[in-house]
Each structure stands twice: as structure tokens, then as C-alpha cells.
Structure 1
């Protein structure tokens, strides 16, 4: 205990250098834990985006590309698929439910998705959690109704009854808008922490009505233009969709139906298992994850080396202090232990301050990160892995503290009393 009191008193005499060292260690620890927390929560967020869906089907391309645009609203489809292909597999004897998806439009940077009411009945996220409405209802027979994700409503300040205009394409700024066919907000979904929160949901009939008078990616003009009232009276059966989700009666039939879809002669289709595609995605991102983690470790190592440098630099200034301690009865191992305790105290203070900075950062950036990146960072206690990382940092600090401790141990009493300035 007396070694601890001596170490704290010695650090108090060098408070400015000690505080800088503690702050450097704290920043490096905060960065390491932040990287680990973001990595873990990003993986959990991706894994929780879709649950209970056995197959995702789209135009033949790559499995990761299909997963990204159909579930995460990232990227675009290479091609559409015919409506009759969807109907064929939706009526398959092994299929319990089917959810059609039509993409291609947006609103102020948020994706618009055309679908059916089956989406609200059967889509699951996290551990089979169903979608729930915070207010309002789902769309009905009127094609110009929209159900907003929680983030869209919050970020844009929309409420029930709001009239909104959708834009053609998925660019944040679009010059081509469907001004003649505004949609009315009839429902807002509860927050899910998934891309559902950043999506505007309309019916397939609504998606067809938007483009019924468009040709070659451009709207019709003059007499050829179709108004919203005229569109309501027309046949709005879709001819093409982007992808569809399937839930099966039996998990055993998953692979046989996947093979049947992939070998379908009507048009080139691709059926993927969401879990397998997620693993492929994370295997691609694994190298980047490890590289970022290694960089964070080197930042922590730099902070600890800074601590070691500060202690070693102060040794020459403290040689008389060590000699006085020896003259009043301190043994060489007491001197060595004093420096080890100092190193440990600096590292422990840095770790605690790093944890404090981490939680302050999460508290301050939590809503922003969730709103802009769809990533929820909880204010939870460190995980077992994070505790092991912190323990490894403290162990490394103890080992580094042995270097100045050994040098102090080797210094003689005479050398300390006859120090040359």
C-alpha cells in the first residue's frame, strides 16, 4: 500500500506529464473499444435485418449483390424478373408465403419499395420479430398510399396525411419527379433498427401507376400523360418486379426448391439462402475488419510506448529521489516495484478514462449514427471480449513498466548521490 501512496505522490509531482500520458492511453483505448463495438454491432445489425425468410429470388447475378439490394437497399438489380415467374413459384406446393419486391424510385435519398400486404404479415427481423405499425395502417386498394419507415418519418418530419412526391431513380438529388401523382402517408412503422426504417413502402399497383405513362425512362408529355385519377381506373397489374422473398412449408425443401429456381428455363433466376449470403459478405469484409483492428492495436501500443518513454525520461531526474529512498531503508526491489506501480496506475487511469470517453461518445453520437447509418450502439457494459482486451492492455503496461524498473534496480546508491548535472 505504501508503494501505491509513493507512486501517486510521485505522479502528482509530475502531474502535467502524467495527465498527458493518461490522456494518450485513454484516446487509444477509446479508439480500440469503439472499433470493436462498431464491428460487433454492425455484424449483429446485419444478421438481425432478416429472419424467417428461407429464400431470396432475383435476376441471376451475384448472391451478395442480390442480398444487398433486396434486403439492405444497397446497389441496384442487374435486371427485373417477370411477374408470371413470381406467380409460378408463389403458387409452388412447397411455398407457404411469398413477398414481391419492386425497387427503383426514391424520396429525398430514401429508397421506395413496392410490395404487397404480405410484406407486413410475413416479413421478420431480429429473432422472428414482426413488423408493427406505430401509427396508422397499411396501404389498401388506393394505389397512392405510402407507409413510412420510422427513420424516414423522423428525419423528414412526416406525419399521417402528409402528401409526398416520389422521384424517379435512387440518386439523392433527382430531376425527374412524379409530381402529378402524390402519395398520402397512411402509416408509420415502429422502429426496427434495420433498413426497413429507411424505406418508403407503397403497393405494387402504386409502383405501376407511377410509371404507367413513362417510356424509356422519361415521362410522357401533353395528351399522353396519365393523371392520378385516370391511373386509378386502369389495370395496374405489374408486369415485372425486382425480387421476391419466399417462406417454405418445410426447411427440408429449401435446397430442392433453390435448385429448381436456379435451373428454371423460363428466365435466368437466382435463389439464395440469406444466412449463407451473409456469411459470404462477412468473409469479404473480414480482411478489412482485421486490418482496422490491427491499426487500433498499434494505436494502443503507441500510447503505452509513450508512457514508457515518459517514465524512462524521468529516471535521470529522479535518481536523487531513488537514492534518498535507498538511504532511508528502501530495498532495490522497492524502487523497482514503485516504477511498476506507477506504470500500472497510469495505464489503469488511461483505461478508465478511455471507457468514460467511449460511453460519452456513444451517448452523444447514438441518435446520429442510427439515423444516418442505421447502426444502433447500445450503452451496455463491456463484453467479455472487451474485458479481455482491457486486461491485455494492463498486462502490457505491467511488462513495459518492468523496463524502467530494471534500470532503477541497477542504479547504485553512490550513483544517485553523486549525480552529475
Structure 2
């Protein structure tokens, strides 16, 4: 116990150097834990984006590309799917439900998704959680109803009853707007922490109405234009969609239906299992993930080397102190233990500071991170994996502290007393 008090008094005597070392270790640990927390939550966020969907079907391309544009609203489809193909598999005896997806337009940088009421009934995220409404209702018979994701409504300050105008294409700034066909907000979805929050949902009829008078990728002009009221009176049956989701009656039939879709002769289609595609996607991101983790580990090692350097640099100044301790009865093992305790104390305070900085950063920045990147950072206790990392860092600090401790252990009493002033 007296060694602990002595170590504390020694660090207090060199408090400025010790404080700088603690700050360096704390900042490096905060960076490492932040990278680990973001990596873990990003993986969980990806995995929780879609749940309970057996197959995702789109035009034949790569499985990751299909997953990105159909589920994460990133990128664009290589081709569309004929409506007849969707109806064919919707009526398949093994299919329990089907959700059509039609992408292509946007609103102030947010993607617009054309779909059917089945989307609000059968789409699941997280652990099979259903979509819920924080305000309003799903779109109904009017093709110009729109349901907003939580982030869209919050960022743009929209509420049920607001009229909005959609833009052609997915760029943040579009030169072609559908001003003649405004939509009215009828519902706002509760937050999900998935791309649903950043999506505007309209009916397939609404998507068709937007482009009813377009020819060769350009809007009609003059008398050829179709007004919103005229579009409401038309049969707004889609000719093509971007992709569709399937839920099957039996999981056993998944691979058989997947093979049937991939061999479909009417047009080239690709059916993927969301879970498998997510693993492939995460595998591609694994290199960057590991690189960030390695950089963070080296930052922590730099902080620990700084601690080692500070203790070693102080040894020459403390040789008389060590000699006096020996002269009053301290054994070499006591000197060794004193320096080990100093290294362990600096590391422990640095770890506590790093954890405190991490939680302070989460409290101050998680709202911005969720709004900007759709990544939710929970304010929970450190996980078992994080505690293992902290324990490893502490063990490394104590091990590195053994080097100056061993050097002090080897110094003799006569060597300490012979220092000239």
C-alpha cells in the first residue's frame, strides 16, 4: 500500500509530464474505441437494413450492385424489369408476398421510391420490426400522395399536408422538376435507422403519372402535356419497375425459386439472398475496416511509447531518489514495483480518460452522425470486445513499463550515491 502512495506522490511531483502522457494515451484510446464502435454499429446497421425478405430480384447484374440500389438506394440499376415479369413471380405458388420497387426520381437530394401498399405491410428491418407511422397514414387512391421517411421530414421540416415537387433524376440539384404534378404529404414513418428514413415513398401509379407525358427521356411541352387532374383519370399501370422483394411461404423453397428466377427465359433476371449479399458487401469493405483499425492501434502504441519515453527520461533525474529509497531499506523489487505502478497508473487514468472522451463525443455528436450518415451510436456500456481491447492496452502498458523498472532495478546503491551535482 505504501508503494501505491509513493507512486502517486512521485507522479504528482512530475504532474505536468504525467498529465501530457495521460492526455496522449486518452486521445489515442478514444480514437481506437471510436473506430471500433463505428465499425461495429455500421456492421449492425447494414445487417438490420432488411429482415424477413427471402429474395431480392432485379435485372441481371452483380449481386452487390443489386443490393445497393434496391435496399440502400445507392447507385442505379443497369436495366429495368418488365411489369409482366413481376406479376408472373407474384403469382408463383411458393410466393407469400411481393413488393415492387421503382426508383429514378428524387427530392432535394433524397431518393424517391415508387412501391405498393404491400411495402408498409410486409417490409421488415432490424429483428423483423414492421414499419410504423409517427404521423399520418400510407398513401391511398390518390396517385399524388407521398409518405416521408423520418429523416426527410425532420431535415426538410415537412408535415402531413405539405405540398412538394419532385425532381427528375437522383442528383442533389436537378434542372428538370415535375412542377405541374405536386405531391401532398399524407404520412411520416417512424425512425428506423435504415435507408427508409432517407426515402420518399409514392405509389407506382404516382411514379407512372410523373412520366406519363414524357417521350424519349424528355418532358412534353405545350398541348402534349398532361396535367395532374388528367393523369388521375388515366389508367396508370406501370410498364416496368426497378426491382422487387419476395417473401416465400417456405424457406425450404428459397433456392428452388432463386434458380427458377435466374433461369427465367422471358428476360434476364437475378435473384439474390439479402444475407449472403450483405456478407459479400461487408467483405469488400473489410480491407478499409482493417486499415482503420490498424492505424488506430498504432496511434495507441505511439501513446504508450510516449509514456515509456517519459519514464525512461526521468530515470537519470531520479537516480538519487532511488538511491535514497534503497538506503532506507527499500529492496530492488520495491523500486521495480514502484515504476510498474507508475506505468500502470498512467495507463489506467489514460484509459478512463479515453472512455470518457468517447462517451462525451457520442453524446454530442450522435444526432449529427445519425442525420448525416444514418448511423445510430448507442450510449451503452462497453462491450465485452471493447473491454478486452482495454485490458490488452493496459497489459501492454504495464509490460512496456517493465523496461525502465528493470533498468532501475539494476542500478546499484553506490551508483546512485555517486551522482555529482
Secondary structure of the residue aligned to 1:57 is strand
CA distance in 2, matches of 1:35, 1:107: 32
Deviations, residues 19-66 of structure 1 (Å, cap 9, x unaligned): 110000001111111111111101111111111100000000000000
Q: How does 1:12-411 map to 2 (within 5 A)?
A: 12-411=12-411
Q: Which consecutive residues of structure 1, in runs of 5 or more, have no partner in the other structure?
A: none
Q: Distance in 2 between matches of 1:94 and 1:72?
A: 26
Q: Deviations along 1:245-290, whole A, 9 cap, x unmatched?
A: 0001111111111001000010100000001111111111122211
Q: CA deviation at 1:420?
A: 3.6
Distance 2:374 2:58 in 1: 24
Root-mean-square deviation over aligned CA pairs: 0.8
CA distance in 2, matches of 1:33, 1:366: 15
How far has the Cα of 1:192 moved from its partner? 0.7
Q: What stretches of structure 2 of length at least 5 have no aligned partner?
A: none
Aligned length: 421
CA deviation map 1:285-319 (0-9, x unaligned): 12221121111111111110000000000111111
Q: Aligned with 2:316: secondary structure?
A: helix
Deviates more, 1:407-416 or 1:112-121: 407-416
SS of equivalent to 2:58:
strand
Question: How far apart in 2 are the matches of 1:190 and 1:67?
Answer: 23
**Alpha-carbon distance, 1:216 to partner:** 2.4
d(CA) in 2 for partners of 1:339, 1:217: 75
The separation in 2 between residues aligned to 1:10 and 1:225, in whole angstroms, is 84
Counterpart Cα distance in 1 of 2:345 and 2:214? 70
TM-score between both structures, scaled by the size of structure 2: 0.99
Counterpart secondary structure, 1:335: helix
Shift of 1:323: 1.1
Give the structure-1-normalised TM-score. 0.99
* C-alpha distance in structure 1 between counterparts of 2:21 and 2:219, whole Å: 64
